[in-house]
């Protein structure tokens, strides 16, 4: 299948590209960087240089790729963990999830894509019985992450109401290569390689909302296990 990946040079994107190529998909990877575009091309990915906030250029790039699937793995977060820098970037990351998603959904529909896969979060559930299942409500009312959670909820609804087959990946907090931690630091946790594998499975698996995380008692991953065969222990070979 033809897959357009927005966020192809990010933490997940770098682990996801070889999985998609290895599975035989024809992949176009979006980036804003000419250097990253060269790296993508060398890896067998067709690069597309575009900014998610330039709606017209984005639409041209997606339409040119003629994707069956559009995958939204965009974030705007610091490469290294810094509490002060992170707090300053929450609004910018929220903008990607609201305005950026709106532009990408419009571009995907213009291109005739049939499926849209989006990266969301598994730490947004309102307080309640654990492990949380996908039908549990999100905490959009208050809390230290309310800006993030409200933006994630808005993003999810945009995708679920897009008219395309919608897959929402509610990821745990990443650890592993290219992330803020080498080992699980906070719950729900998720290795970056397992996150990438889930995105690969989402290309051909059932649509819907899925918790994607380690089995640490915080969220239930039974749905992803049963419907996709998801295994949080998956790791890329070195």
pLDDT per residue as tens, the chain (238 positions): 999 999 998 999 999 999 999 999 999 999 998 999 999 999 999 999 999 999 999 999 999 999 999 999 998 766 666 666 666 677 888 999 999 999 999 999 999 999 999 999 999 999 999 999 999 999 998 766 788 899 999 999 999 999 999 999 999 999 999 998 999 989 999 999 999 999 999 999 999 999 999 999 999 999 999 999 999 999 998 6
What local confidence, expressed as pLDDT, does residue 6 receive?
A: 97
What local confidence, expressed as pLDDT, does residue 101 receive?
A: 98
What local confidence, expressed as pLDDT, does residue 144 receive?
A: 61
What local confidence, expressed as pLDDT, does residue 76 receive?
A: 79
What local confidence, expressed as pLDDT, does residue 237 receive?
A: 86
What local confidence, expressed as pLDDT, does residue 93 receive?
A: 87
Non-local CB neighbours of 215 within 8 Å, separated by 6+ positions: 221, 232
What local confidence, expressed as pLDDT, does residue 132 receive?
A: 98
Report yes or no: 196 and 15 within 8 Å, Cβ to Cβ: yes
Domain ranges of the chain: 2-228
Nearest to 214 by CA among 174, 179, 178: 174
CATH topology of domain 2-228: Rossmann fold (3.40.50)
Q: d(Cα 209, Cα 223) in Å, to the nearest integer?
A: 9
The pTM of the full predicted model, rounded to 2 decimals, is 0.95
Non-local CB neighbours of 83 within 8 Å, separated by 6+ positions: none
What local confidence, expressed as pLDDT, does residue 85 receive?
A: 63
Residue appearing with tokens 């998603």: 101
Grouping H, G, I as helix, E, B as strand and the rest as coil, residue 150 is helix
What local confidence, expressed as pLDDT, does residue 150 receive?
A: 95
């Amino acid at each position: 299948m033809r897959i357009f990946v927005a966020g192809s040079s990010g933490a997940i994107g770098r682990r996801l590209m070889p999985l998609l190529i290895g599975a035989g998909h024809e992949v176009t990877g979006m980036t804003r960087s000419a250097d990253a575009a060269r790296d993508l091309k060398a890896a067998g990915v067709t690069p597309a240089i575009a900014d998610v906030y330039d709606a017209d250029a984005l639409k041209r790039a997606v339409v040119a790729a003629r994707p069956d699937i559009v995958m939204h793995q965009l974030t705007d977060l610091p490469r290294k963990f810094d509490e002060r820098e992170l707090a300053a970037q929450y609004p910018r990351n929220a903008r990607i999830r609201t305005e950026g998603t709106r532009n990408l959904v419009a571009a995907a529909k213009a291109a005739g894509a049939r499926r849209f896969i989006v990266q969301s979060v598994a730490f947004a559930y309102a307080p309640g019985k654990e492990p949380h299942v996908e039908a549990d409500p999100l905490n959009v009312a208050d809390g230290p992450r309310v800006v993030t959670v409200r933006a994630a909820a808005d993003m999810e609804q945009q995708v679920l109401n897009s008219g395309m087959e919608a897959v929402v990946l509610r990821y745990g907090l990443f650890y592993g290569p290219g992330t803020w931690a080498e080992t699980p630091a906070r719950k729900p946790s998720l290795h970056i390689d397992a996150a990438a594998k889930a995105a690969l499975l989402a290309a051909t698996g059932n649509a819907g909302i899925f918790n994607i995380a380690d089995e640490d008692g915080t969220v239930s991953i039974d749905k992803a296990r049963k419907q996709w065969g998801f295994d949080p222990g998956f790791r890329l070979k070195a």
